[in-house]
Amino acid sequence: MTAIALDSHEHDHPSGIRRWLTTTNHKDIGTLYLCFSFAMFLFAGALAMLVRTELFEPGLQFFQPNLFNQLTTMHGLIMIFGAIMPAFVGFANWQIPLMIGAPDMAFPRLNNWSFWLLPMAALLLLGSFLVPGGAVAGGWTMYPPLYIQGGIGYDMTIFAIHIMGLSSIIGSINIITTILNLRAPGMIMMKIPMFVWTWLITAYLLVAVMPVLASAVTMLLTDRHFGTHFFNAAGGGDPVMFQHIFWFFGHPEVYIMILPAFGILSTIIPTFSRKPLFGYHSMVYATASIAILSFVVWAHHMFTVGMPAAGQLFFMYTTMLIAVPTGVKVFNWIATMWQGAISFETPMLFSVAVICLFTIGGFSGLVLAVVPVDIQLQDTYYVVAHFHYVLFSGAAMSIMAGVYYWLPKWTGHMYNETLGQWHFWLTAIAFNITFFPMHFTGLAGMPRRVPDYALQFAEFNMISSIGAFVLGASQLLFLYIVVKCIRGGMPAGEKPWDGADTLEWTLPSPVPYHTFETAPVIR
């Protein structure tokens, strides 16, 4: 053998900051992702609090429209790219190797890179608040020509998106390869846990659409600075073309943020129902159908741009079709609970609430899929209500469920169940107080992304704002519970949830730094 010294990672455990900067361990990287995403969640949440403060009453009280638009835009961008997506990648890093019996991710160094690109992107994105002209104020969807008008902050956002896109692509390739190539012997594809399936499909979506977003923002950049006319009619381009390309990315992106959540639910519900997941095969097929359909529905975000009737009808039919596999998933979860022995620990409470509230978001999605009704509701608060039901009570609350569910395994300690239940009830109730009235304000005709509104919307807006403040404050309780659990608590033991049956529960808690170095054999 050669004399070159090559350390394999079993032998090197740097400590302190070096551990986190140079780590190639999937658990460390998962932790980094989760911490980063939590910080971004709190920051973007604080922006939302400012938005709701301005909207508390009609009139301009605290922020001029320019700053207000920056707040809403950055809230959206950071929540999507900084909070929700990295949180799910954090789960993937921690759980996928544990659940399929792999020693680590397939490319540990790339794994590190895909994380450490994110803080760089965040630096550019958050730093844009400090430059002349401020941060982007054109909405997270970045529509030109409005986006062409902005200052340097807009360029910073474009580069941040390029870097985050690179991070997502690398991360997804890593996840796909891990799932396809590093499963323990005997872990055939139709045996891998549902969470792993959903992430495989999500990663495939990410690899397919992040480059498209990169293309779209590159064209924005050249339109802004190098005189191209992609989105300018005078040169033969079309502003709506950007929307088509953006939503070709944007709609799969919606499923990127919800499919891993479905995976978490499909793990937690069987555990606390003490019954295997109902219809595993149909769940896999349903997830795959949702992913495939997500590529042919994008223009339902653009029913008011003036596309021909044939286009509107095509995208309406395909969108309605997505309700079918989504329904199948909900029915399967309920069938899983049926005749079980159900108990209501915090993760289960969150999961049940997610099914209920996500379905409300699904139904409002169906309402919005219907072109004539969408014409009335497009760009109103109804849409704001709809996507918060999907993304907050769908994605974010699933993330919370997953954190409570796996914290004992990750830290070796039980979280405080009483506080967890408090957090759940506060979150679920405040969430509905905040967002349910938005259905009404939207129906009654309040446009979204406005810093000020007509008087007939005053009451509901005040209610929404009060709910939002409670919702925001409850998340500080979440922070406290998590920190407390990391620091100490009742020892969790190997398997704190008696109904759990995936591979990670065969390991001690907290999980050793290296696991499954010799692959377990699955019967």
Partner 1 sequence: MDTSRYYLPAPSWWPIVGSVALLTLASGFLLLLQRMPAGSYLMLAGAVILAVMLFGWFGAVIREGIAGRYNGQVDVSYRWGMSWFIFSEVMFFAALFGALFYARYFAVPWLGQASLLWPGYNSTWPTAGPGSLASFTPMAAWGIPAINTLILLSSGAIVTWAHWGLKKDNRLQLKIGLALTILLGVIFIALQAYEYFLADFSLKTGIYGATFYMLTGFHGAHVTLGVIMLVVILGRVIAGHFSEKRHFAFEAVSWYWHFVDVVWLLLFVFVYWL
Partner 2 sequence: MKKLPPQAVILSLLTGQAQAALNFNLQSPVTPIAHQIYNLHTLILLVCLLIFFVVFGFMFYALFKHRKSTGHQASHFHQNFRLEVIWTLIPFLILIGIAIPTTKTVLAMKNVEHSDMNIKVTGHQWMWEYEYLGEGVRYVSNLGTPRDQIDNKVVKGAHYLLEVDRPLVVPTGKKVRILLTSADVIHSWWLPQFGVKQDAIPGFIHEAWFQVEKPGTYRGQCAELCGVGHGFMPIVVEALPPEQYDDWLKTQKISLAETSSTSSKTYTLAELTMHGEKVYLSRCAACHQANGQGIAGMFPPLIDGAPFSAGAGVTTPLAERGFWKDGKVVLGSKERHLDILMNGITGTAMQPMAAQLSDFDIAAVVSYERNSWGNKTGDTIQPAEVAALRKGVAK
**What phi and psi, each to the nearest 5 degrees, are found at residue 447?**
-70, 155
Active site residue 75: yes
- With beta carbons less than 8 A apart as the criterion, state whether 242 and 313 touch: no
- Given a contact cutoff of 8 angstroms between Cβ atoms, the answer to whether 53 and 117 are in contact is no
Neighbours of 440 (CB within 10 A): 17
- Interatomic CA distance for residues 422 and 393, integer angstroms: 16
Half-sphere exposure in the Cβ direction for 136 (13 Å, CA): 27
Q: How far is the CB of 191 from partner 2 (least distance, A)?
A: 13
Asked whether position 37 contacts partner 2 by CB under 8 A, the answer is no
Cβ distance 424 to 401 under 8 Å?
no
Query: Among this protein's residues, is 448 annotated catalytic?
Result: yes
Query: Residue 185 interacts with partner 1 (CB under 8 A)?
Result: no
Stretch of residues binding partner 1 (CB under 8 A), selected from 103-111, 253-261, 326-334, 434-442? 103-111
Residue 488 neighbours by CB distance under 10 Å: 10
Site for partner 2 in 64-103 (CB under 8 A): 64-66, 69
Which residue in 20, 140, 143, 422 is the catalytic one? 140
CB of 322: closest distance to partner 2 in angstroms? 10
Q: How far apart are CA 149 and CA 137, in angstroms?
A: 10
Report the alpha-carbon distance of residue 437 to residue 311 in Å, rounded. Answer: 32
Q: What is the DSSP string of 66-83?
A: HHHHHHHHHHHHIIIIII
Concatenating the DSSP letter of every residue in 176-220 gives HHHHHH-PPTT--GGGS-HHHHHHHHHHHHHHHHHHHHHHHHHHH
253 is catalytic: yes
- Please report whether residue 440 would count as binding partner 2 according to CB under 8 A: yes
Write the interaction track for partner 1 spanning residues 21-40; mark x where CB under 8 A is met and - where it is not.
Answer: xxxx----------------
Q: How far is the CB of 29 from partner 1 (least distance, A)?
A: 10
Determine which residue in the list 152, 313, 454, 473 makes contact with partner 1, applying CB under 8 A: 152
Residue 2 touching partner 1 (CB under 8 A): yes
Q: How many CB atoms lie within 10 A of CB 236?
A: 8
Q: Does 155 bind partner 1 (CB under 8 A)?
A: yes
Judged by beta carbon, residue 440 or residue 469, the one nearer partner 2 is: 440
CA nearest neighbour of 30 among 287, 346, 399? 399
Q: How many CB atoms lie within 10 A of CB 127?
A: 13
Nearest 5°: the CA angle 165, 68, 70 is 20
Among 14, 36, 16, CA closest to 25? 14
* The entry of partner 1, partner 2, none that residue 123 binds, CB within 5 to 8 Å by partner kind: partner 1
Q: What, of partner 2, partner 1, none, does residue 222 touch, CB below 5 to 8 Å by kind?
A: partner 1
Answer yes or no whether residue 477 interacts with partner 2 by CB under 8 A: no
Using CB under 8 A as the binding rule, whether residue 349 contacts partner 2 is answered as no
Footprint of partner 1 on 369-398 (CB under 8 A): none
Using CB under 8 A, which residues numbered 362 to 421 contact partner 2? 363, 366-367, 370-373, 375-376, 378-380
From 469, 334, 496, 332, select the one nearest 404 (Cα to Cα). 496
Interface residue with partner 2 among 444, 486, 490, 519 (CB under 8 A) is 444
155 is annotated as an active-site residue: no
In the annotation, is 255 catalytic? yes
Residue 224 in the binding site for partner 2 (CB under 8 A): yes
Confirm whether 474 is a catalytic residue: no
- Catalytic residue, candidates 183, 300, 388, 439: 300
**Of partner 1, partner 2, none, which one does residue 211 interact with (CB within 5 to 8 Å by kind)?**
partner 1
Q: Which of 177, 359, 416, 506 binds partner 1 (CB under 8 A)?
A: 177
Minimum distance from residue 326 beta carbon to partner 1 (Å): 25
Nearer Cβ to partner 1, position 46 or 166? 166
Number of residues that bind partner 2 (CB under 8 A): 103
Q: Please identify which residue in 73, 85, 104, 400 interacts with partner 1, judged by CB under 8 A.
A: 104
Among 14, 127, 276, 493, binds partner 2 (CB under 8 A): 276
Beta partners for residue 447, in sequence order: 380
Cα 63-66-68 angle, rounded to 5 deg? 45
Active-site residue numbers?
Answer: 75, 104, 140, 167-168, 251, 253, 255, 266, 300-301, 326, 329, 448
